[in-house]
Structure 1
């Protein structure tokens, strides 16, 4: 398929695509849209920034345009995503195609007024985009029903596993009719995803347009070896070389990211931050300022930055390397979007050499050394001697479960499919201890 007009989409959708200057589908769109329109369950694997939202969104919109109004409190299509930012991004993309139509797209996320959300849901919803935790809260209040849902989409499914949402997914899936279409989309393919697909997909079509874990081809990647104490000055040097280009800086902890942002601001950079300690309105204002170029440098944590879709981001700096190598792929996928070029620079302190080697193993390549001295191999710290779990997950939004650690309410065997994919606080540093239930005496950090 080389043209959207060949996919059999509703003329109203084709008109909007044309107005937006979109004539040729991306590889994931060209392969997924016809199959989804046929009603197939699907496991879609593609790099970030390749158009996964429209790959599942356009067929859903096409199907719903031929139907009448939804019943009160009813939902016709449910899209679950792990973070507020990703929920809003998906909804914004789909809402562009519902203008001038009777279709309604509603978002449900934590940090926003649950009473306002209840009011919107009372009228019935064509497409609901939600985080699992807040959705469960609203289901407990009987603010909506999923008995009319025809389609269930799990977007960034790998991240939902990492954040311990598996128990929430099980509860939600039981409330949706078995005769539904289920779509899983992800940029990476950890082994737990296979178990998730076997549980929820029926005779699924697997669509893969890039090897799992492979970053966008147009991202230039490099590593700079540096001591932890010299990272801020090194970042200052790199940012000063491209003062007018948008840069996204990833830190590991909420406190550390906020501290770094204030330091950059004191040095004269137009900087902002988003992380778990920021309210939803603060995060939205900061993202808007970054998108408009009023802020040139955005410091973020993994969880908060999930779903950022800003085409003008030219540079991604991994100020702290992620504990989970797959998160590196998601991080650098924030640049080189929509066919643009981008650069990703990793700052590697001696204590992070193990994280770097895990990333290179995932990528099946060795990052180009931009500067600094490679630490000796014996500086690698075994993961089982550090605080925190290797998956580095966290407390999901709302009250949805997650075994293993953190403050999630539902238990499970560590590492098993019944739970244990999360661990620690969201954005937690390495020094924090994991907590399990039942709680025992707390060991010293």
Structure 2
């Protein structure tokens, strides 16, 4: 997942399934990284979500901030017991230990990590309706082991059965598969990865359905993650995978970013444009949603099998020239520094080039007496500071606009990357998303 983790956009799919034999654990596969598109006067389709029945609010827990040094903003590594479990229907732990290329099982967690599993799953005592999942995979180093494992039926069987045991042992309720960049040979993949991915998910589903579910437990969930939009969607046979999953998280963020060649104006380069002001094909949340919902229908599934992925991280650039004092649209249509690869100054606490946690962007605005400017087309807010630092971020209003578009397309759920990027203690964005999603 991008935004303080890697340069990749995600879409998550969660699939409920029963695992193979007793003691075997099910897998949750997060599959789609999606984008949504909307403007203030957009006409929405007629299949909007009106019921509370299948609404999902999924949060990804990962200690992306680590242990900040010289941080005066009160941010520390987010501990499981401080996660706002009451605001979520599902929480996903990111990430599992890596896949061993000798045993084809997940490596055993170190002692501290195992203790965090226990604390994380103890959140269900605070919210009896909460379901927890473990995300398997993650950043680029996981691509080659995942590809090798999925390519061989025997290796897949070992992985499936051992992973289900792992999930049950530590008290999770499902498995989320985050296989980034399948078929990308340069990143350790194979041309057959997309077909092998289908086989892996099918094996997981079969194991979940065959599992003798332990007493006081429920059938495991299964989901998967894929990047958003037609360009990334080609790596995943969504129409063949969707029937094996509970739902798909379309990750509608990191659609654009500092890793791109900045030959176009930086002012439109927010991470998650609902609609792309420059009409770049595929580079919007709306286009991603439309693409993956269409792929789902081709596989016999409706839009209720998807969630829209959003991020609490903002994106930041260094501009080529200082902003003129008193500019009415500061930084809009301004070229990036040297026109290429222009991440801004790192955050005071997170130290992630090109990214700022929500709590960091808000602290900068407060310190400099700034207010964010809304771009009505992309539904992102932005500001500039120190004359050449340009920051785009989400707040409750922009997230609500994207959620509204997703719901208008029949998508009932939201998946959130970066719980630790929210404002500590108040959990401002989590509360805003919850109020908007379940207030409908």
Q: Which has the larger radius of gyration?
A: 1
- Same fold by TM-score greater than 0.5: no
Tell me which protein shows more helix as a share of its residues.
Answer: 1
Name the structure, 1 or 2, with higher relative contact order (CA <8 Å, separation 6+): 2
TM-score, with normalisation over the residues of structure 1?
0.31
